[in-house]
C-alpha cells in the first residue's frame, strides 16, 4: 500500500485554505500535517478537507497563534496531544493509524521559534525553546516500542551547514546556533530517527524549506533555511520511496513563508 504524507507550516489555515485545497488536489496525500494553523478548534475548516476525502481530522489549536492538525483518509486507532513546559499552546498532536496489519505513528510538532536573542538568561522565548526540546526529547523516548514512527513539523532549527544560506553568518542567529543544533540532535537520536529528506538529498546539497517574507526577491537571493523536517524510524526508512520539499509553492499567490514537505512510503 502506497502512503503519501504532506507536512506544511501553513501560517493560518483559514487564510490559506484555498491554497491547501489546491495542494491536496494536486498531490493527493493520505496524511496532511499542518503547523501554525492559527485557528481554534471550533473554527477549523473541517468540511473543506472532508470534501477532499480526508475524513479523519484532529486539531490542537488555540486562538490566534500556533496550532497543529493531522488530517487523513486512513483509519485512526489513537489520538494524543501533549503539552510541554506547562503551556497549553497547541504545539503537538499525534495519531496512530491502521495501515493493513501495521500501526503507523505520526507526531506533528511546532517547536517554539525562540525570539531574536540566543541567550536563555535574558530571552525567555529562547529559554522556552530549549526547555521545550528537552521535554519533547524525553517524551519521544517513550515511543520506542512503535517501530513505524514518523515525526514531522516546523522544528524551527536548521541543523546542518547546508541547511542555511550562510553557516558562518548564522551561527549566532536563532535557529542555527550550536546549542539549538545540539538539542535537536538529542531530539532526533531519542529513538534513532533518520532524516528522511537527507536520505534523498545529501548533506553536500543546499536544502531549504523557509524563505523570509522580508526578501521580495526570495527565489533569486535564495537565503533560506531548512526549518521543517521529516524524521522516520530505521524500520520505516526501509519503506520510504521519496522525500522532497515542494519549493515552487513558496512562489504561489499569498504564500506561506514555508514550503510543504512530502514523503512517500510503501507499506
| pLDDT at 96 (0 to 100) | 97
Query: How far is 172 from 267, CA to CA, in rounded Å?
Result: 42
Structural domain boundaries, residue 116 = 2-266
Smallest Cα–Cα separation from 259: which of 195, 208, 203, 200?
A: 208
pLDDT at 228: 99
CA–CA dist 85, 132 (Å, integer): 6
- Which pTM does this prediction carry? 0.97
pLDDT in tens, the chain (267 residues): 999 999 999 999 999 999 999 999 999 999 999 999 999 999 999 999 999 999 999 999 998 899 999 999 999 999 999 999 999 999 999 999 999 888 999 999 999 999 999 999 999 999 999 999 999 999 999 998 899 999 999 999 999 999 999 999 999 999 999 999 999 999 999 999 999 999 999 999 999 999 999 988 999 999 999 999 999 999 999 999 999 999 999 999 999 999 999 999 999
**C-alpha span between 167 and 173 (Å, rounded):** 10
Which single residue is written with the C-alpha cell 478537507? 49
For cell 479523519, the residue is 56
Domain CATH for 133: 3.60.10.10
Distance between CA 22 and CA 48 in Å, rounded?
11
Q: What is the tally of structural domains in the chain?
A: 1
Grid coordinates representing 266 are: 510503501
Cα separation, 209 vs 224, whole angstroms:
7
Amino acid at each position: 500500500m502506497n502512503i503519501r504524507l504532506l507536512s506544511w507550516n501553513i501560517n493560518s489555515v483559514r487564510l490559506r485554505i484555498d491554497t491547501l485545497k489546491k495542494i491536496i488536489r494536486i498531490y493527493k496525500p493520505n496524511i496532511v500535517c499542518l503547523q501554525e494553523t492559527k485557528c481554534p478548534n471550533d473554527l477549523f475548516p473541517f468540511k473543506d478537507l472532508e470534501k477532499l476525502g480526508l475524513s479523519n481530522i484532529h486539531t490542537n489549536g488555540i486562538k490566534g497563534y500556533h496550532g497543529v492538525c493531522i488530517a487523513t483518509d486512513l483509519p485512526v486507532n489513537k489520538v494524543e496531544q501533549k503539552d510541554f513546559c506547562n503551556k497549553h499552546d497547541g504545539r503537538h498532536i499525534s495519531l496512530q493509524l491502521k495501515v493493513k496489519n501495521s500501526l503507523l505513528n505520526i507526531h506533528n510538532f511546532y517547536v517554539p521559534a525562540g525570539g531574536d536573542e540566543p541567550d536563555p538568561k535574558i530571552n525567555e522565548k529562547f529559554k522556552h525553546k530549549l526547555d521545550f526540546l528537552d521535554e519533547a526529547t524525553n517524551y519521544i523516548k517513550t515511543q520506542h516500542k512503535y517501530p513505524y514512527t514518523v515525526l514531522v513539523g516546523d522544528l524551527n532549527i536548521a541543523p546542518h551547514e547546508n541547511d542555511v544560506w550562510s553557516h558562518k553568518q548564522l551561527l549566532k542567529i536563532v535557529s542555527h546556533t550550536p546549542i539549538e543544533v545540539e538539542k535537536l540532535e538529542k531530539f532526533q537520536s531519542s529513538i534513532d530517527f533518520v532524516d528522511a529528506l537527507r536520505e534523498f538529498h545529501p548533506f553536500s546539497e543546499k536544502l531549504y524549506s523557509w524563505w523570509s517574507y522580508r526578501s521580495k526577491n526570495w527565489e533569486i537571493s535564495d537565503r533560506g533555511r531548512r526549518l521543517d523536517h521529516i524524521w522516520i524510524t530505521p524500520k520505516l526508512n526501509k519503506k520510504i520511496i521519496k522525500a522532497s520539499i515542494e519549493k515552487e509553492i513558496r512562489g504561489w499567490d499569498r504564500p506561506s513563508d514555508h514550503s510543504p514537505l512530502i514523503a512517500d512510503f510503501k507499506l
